[in-house]
Amino acid sequence: MAGGYIKLWRKTTEWGWWKDVTVAHFFEYCLMKAAYLPGHYLGKPVGVGEFYGSISGMAFETGLTKYQVRRAIECLTKTGEIASETASGLHHIKVAKYAEYQDIVETQTAQQTEQLTEHLTEQQTAPPYLYKKKKERRRKNISPKSPLKGDGEKEDAYERRYDGITYLG
């Protein structure tokens, strides 16, 4: 999930794990790593607020040790901030209240987002003043050039006049 941003509430400073730098850092990492739209990872479905990762990969990405990552997962799982399932060395991590943390309307699904994007793309058109300028350029700024060049060769190019300046091209 490259790009974008996450919301981080000020009330986080009142959270029980706030003073435990390792756990707080790992939880922020989970918020940033979690999918904001449903998708797939290695053929496995990934819902909103979920992601897959290995202990060593998460340790590398966070700058923590493997032990610190395991401990953070254990602490956050015990208090219910995340849910973690392990299968063949890959952890499936779900941020428990991701929609609440990110202020997401839960009724919005990937399909609705896709439909909205398609609808907006169809509805988007250039402002009328751009079309007017193009038509004006076509109408009065382009005139056919003489069919013969200086040495007698035929020329398909047009002369263009913008603000009294003639351009060939």
CATH of 10-111, one of 3.40.50.11540, 3.40.190.10, 1.10.10.10, 3.30.420.40: 1.10.10.10
* Burial label, 30 (beta-carbon count in 10 A; 0-12, 13-18, 19+): buried
Q: Which bin fits 30, alpha (ψ -120 to 50), beta or left (φ > 0)? A: alpha
- Give the type of residue at 152: G
**Dist. CA 168–CA 62, nearest whole Å:** 58
User: Residue 60 corresponds to which tokens in the numbers above?
Assistant: 């590398």
Strand partners, 143: 159
- Give the type of residue at 85: E
Average pLDDT score over residue span 161-168: 55
More confident residue, 97 or 53: 53
Say what the pLDDT of residue 139 is. Answer: 61
Residue 132 neighbours by CB under 8 Å, 6+ apart: none
Q: How do residues 34-93 score in pLDDT, each as one tens digit?
A: 998 899 888 889 999 999 999 999 999 999 999 999 999 999 999 999 999 998 889 999
Average pLDDT score over residue span 114-132: 56
Pairing assessment for the beta strands 82-87 and 44-46 based on DSSP bridges? unpaired
- In this prediction, residue 23 has a pLDDT band, given cuts at 50, 70 and 90, of very high
Chain mean pLDDT for the chain: 76
> Is the pTM here over 0.75, yes or no?
no
Among 20-29, 111-120, 139-148, name the one with the lowest average pLDDT. 139-148
Round to the nearest angstrom and report the end-to-end CA distance of the chain.
45
Residue indicated by tokens 């003043």: 129
> Taking Cα atoms as reference points, which of 29, 33, 26 lies closest to residue 75?
26
Average pLDDT score over residue span 102-127: 59
> Is a pLDDT exceeding 60 seen at residue 118?
yes
What residue segments make up the domains of the chain, in order of their start? 10-111, 126-168
Strand partners, 94: 50, 83
Backbone torsions φ then ψ of 23, nearest 5 degrees: -65, -45
Say what the pLDDT of residue 79 is. Answer: 92
